[in-house]
Amino acid sequence: MKVVKRRKAMLEAVRSGVCSIEALCHHFGISEATVRRDLGALSREGLLVRTYGGATTSIGQREPELTLEQRRSRQGDIKIRLAECALGCIEEGDTVLLDGGTTTAALAARLHERKGLHVVTNNMAALPLLTQLPEGRITVLGGDLRASSMTVYGPLAFETLSRLTVDRLFLSADGVTEQGLCEASPDQAWLKEAMIARAAEVYVMADATKIGRASQQHWTPLPARWTLITEADDDLTAIFSPRRTTVLRP
């Protein structure tokens, strides 16, 4: 079967529910490497979204947003491991920007292990965990409170960001795909984009369930170079360009 015809057939197969790499290999009688190349090409054309171990055409779907307590109870051990890995990227005296989310809050709980940090954050849930910073200081982004995630956003947050730069930014997200980070609200997506613009180094902390997940309708594009911190052990180069992404695993 010619490449163009096969890829058209593969897109139809994914639309009909044949979504995993293993199933597509069996369905077309081709190698895993060929399936990954075809899915990558279809993804670059915007026809599907590469996922962890397969693909989906459900772009722009919207799932119910989890409460803060539900998020805290999910993947707790993995979040601790991701936080330990992220801590290894931070040097004493750094200015660190922490995004909202329970994964970044897990990192906040470890920051007392570095001296002289200046921590900037919109993550209200992380504030109690930052009170023991040795020789450090905390800057809270102002703005309106989003109670469902205990984060602040809006014009005041943008104004504060416009007057500073940071060494390292640590982001979380509802999903991470080649398109960027997906979020439940446009305010979250826009604020993340503003954070990225002010950071020298950008890190995305995401467990395997977030990789390739397009669960919301609002997107933050990722910069030319960024680092993914995840425990996912699949071949992520099929989802993210290796020229743009460094992958760190705990």
- Kindly state whether residue 141 falls inside one of the protein's structural domains: yes
CB count within 10 Å of CB 88 equals 12
Compute the average pLDDT of residues 128-139: 92
pLDDT greater at residue 1 or residue 87: 87
Q: Is 40 helix (H, G, I), strand (E, B) or coil?
A: helix
Q: Are residues 75 and 199 in the same domain?
A: yes
- Kindly state whether residue 51 falls inside one of the protein's structural domains: yes
Average pLDDT of the chain to the nearest whole number: 85
Question: Does position 68 have pLDDT exceeding 70, yes or no?
Answer: no
Question: Does position 178 have pLDDT exceeding 80, yes or no?
Answer: no
Question: Does position 95 have pLDDT exceeding 90, yes or no?
Answer: yes
pLDDT greater at residue 184 or residue 121: 121
pLDDT greater at residue 102 or residue 241: 102
Which of 60-69, 78-87, 196-205 is predicted with the least confidence, judged by mean pLDDT? 60-69
Contacts of 226 (CB under 8 A, 6+ apart): 202, 203, 204, 244, 245, 246
Per-residue model confidence (pLDDT) at position 232: 83
Q: Give me the domain span that covers residue 194.
A: 68-248
Compute the average pLDDT of residues 174-185: 85
Q: Are residues 50 and 99 in the same domain?
A: no
* Residue type at 237 in one-letter notation: T
Q: Are residues 25 and 108 in the same domain?
A: no
- Kindly state whether residue 172 falls inside one of the protein's structural domains: yes
Per-residue model confidence (pLDDT) at position 37: 87
Question: Does position 231 have pLDDT exceeding 80, yes or no?
Answer: yes
Q: Are residues 78 and 45 in the same domain?
A: no
- Kindly state whether residue 62 falls inside one of the protein's structural domains: no
- Kindly state whether residue 61 falls inside one of the protein's structural domains: no
Q: Are residues 107 and 231 in the same domain?
A: yes
Percent of the chain with pLDDT over 70: 85
Q: Are residues 133 and 205 in the same domain?
A: yes
pLDDT tens readout for residues 21-52: 888 998 899 998 898 888 888 877 767 777 66
Per-residue model confidence (pLDDT) at position 119: 98
Q: Are residues 131 and 39 in the same domain?
A: no
CB count within 10 Å of CB 53 equals 17
Question: Does position 128 have pLDDT exceeding 80, yes or no?
Answer: yes
Q: Are residues 20 and 137 in the same domain?
A: no
- Kindly state whether residue 194 falls inside one of the protein's structural domains: yes
pLDDT tens readout for residues 186-216: 888 899 999 999 999 999 999 988 887 777 7
Q: Are residues 11 and 118 in the same domain?
A: no
Token pair of 70 as six digits: 């539900």
- Kindly state whether residue 110 falls inside one of the protein's structural domains: yes
Q: Are residues 121 and 157 in the same domain?
A: yes
d(CA 216, CA 101): 16
Q: Are residues 102 and 174 in the same domain?
A: yes
What is the enclosing helix (H) or strand (E) of 205?
A: strand 199-205
Per-residue model confidence (pLDDT) at position 69: 59
Question: Does position 173 have pLDDT exceeding 60, yes or no?
Answer: yes
- Kindly state whether residue 12 falls inside one of the protein's structural domains: yes
Question: Does position 171 have pLDDT exceeding 80, yes or no?
Answer: yes
Q: Is 109 helix (H, G, I), strand (E, B) or coil?
A: coil
- CATH number, domain containing residue 18: 1.10.10
Q: Are residues 90 and 206 in the same domain?
A: yes
Q: How many domains would you assign to the chain?
A: 2
Compute the average pLDDT of residues 49-69: 61
